[in-house]
Structure 1
Amino acid sequence: MSHPVMSQPQGGFAQYQSPQWQTDLFDCCSDCGVCLCGIFCPLILGCQVASDMDECCLCGATMAMRSVYRTKYGIPGSLLGDFFATFCCPHCSLCQLKRDINKRKDMGVF
């Protein structure tokens, strides 16, 4: 008999990175290129995110990718929050993830 998971494990690198999203969910104007790609070419942006995270291209815009990323960097949140972000605002959620990846790359912590 398996027991349900009640909490997510924290990533090993969380103590070295900023434990928050680098931009807000609706902060699209902070990177217009990512925003435009997310609106008009979300599959391409999803593949870029998946490639950045060394995952399959089909995984880029999913709740699982957001949860894995959030857990790796110790960003507060929950699976339910990840679900609602990706279900209710899929383009904004994808853009936020790509902006965060870009900012962490610029800081040298990705």
Structure 2
Amino acid sequence: MTTKVVIQQPTPIMESRVSDQWHSGICDCCEDMPQCCFAFWCCPCFACRTTRDYGQCLCLPLLDICGLCIPSITLAMRVSMRHRYGIKDTICQDCLYATCCTACSWCQMATEMKERAIPIVLTNARPRL
């Protein structure tokens, strides 16, 4: 008599909330008041923290201080985030928001990262005998 042993690895199941739009508008930064105050009163610190949480160099946003008209790092982060999350928007809007609404733009990006953080839940992690 032979026995057949079947071993199956658990597969990660992800709940997807995929959208091709920003979860918050550029002027919705007041929905998270502590985040809004931090971004408004100390935008460079908030931008550095957001950039670090995004997986980039902590001090990268400080290069915007050297910029002439358009904050290039803020613009680059918006474009990168749009591409990573598949958000449909235009480079013209990114440029406008990065230039005229810098703190609101950073709040929008931080909110998007919170909304898109999808935990992986393992099911059947322990085989049943």
Normalising by structure 2, report the TM-score: 0.65
CA distance in structure 1 between the aligned counterparts of 2:60 and 2:110, rounded to whole angstroms = 13
Q: Bigger CA drift: 39-48 or 15-24?
A: 15-24
Structure 1 segments (4+ residues) deviating >6 Å:
none
Superposition pairs of residues 45-84 of structure 1, within 5 angstroms: 45-60=46-61, 62-84=74-96
Q: Which residue of 2 aligns with 1:22?
A: 23
Corresponding residue to 1:91 among 81, 90, 103: 103
CA distance in structure 2 between the aligned counterparts of 1:49 and 1:81, rounded to whole angstroms = 20
Q: Bigger CA drift: 26-35 or 54-63?
A: 54-63
1:59/1:65 contact within 8 Å kept = no
CA distance in structure 2 between the aligned counterparts of 1:57 and 1:19, rounded to whole angstroms = 27
More helix by share: 1
Return 5+ residue gaps in structure 2 as ranges: 1-15, 62-72, 121-129
User: Deviation digits for residues 37-88 of structure 1, max 9, x if unmatched?
Assistant: 1001111111111111211223346100010001111111121111111101
CA distance in structure 1 between the aligned counterparts of 2:102 and 2:109, rounded to whole angstroms = 11
Return 5+ residue gaps in structure 1 as ranges: 1-14
* Count of aligned residue pairs for this structure pair: 94
CA distance in structure 2 between the aligned counterparts of 1:65 and 1:58, rounded to whole angstroms = 13
Normalising by structure 1, report the TM-score: 0.75
More strand by share: 2
CA shift, 1:104, in A, is: 1.8
Identify the structure with bigger relative contact order (alpha carbons < 8 Å, sequence gap 6+). 2
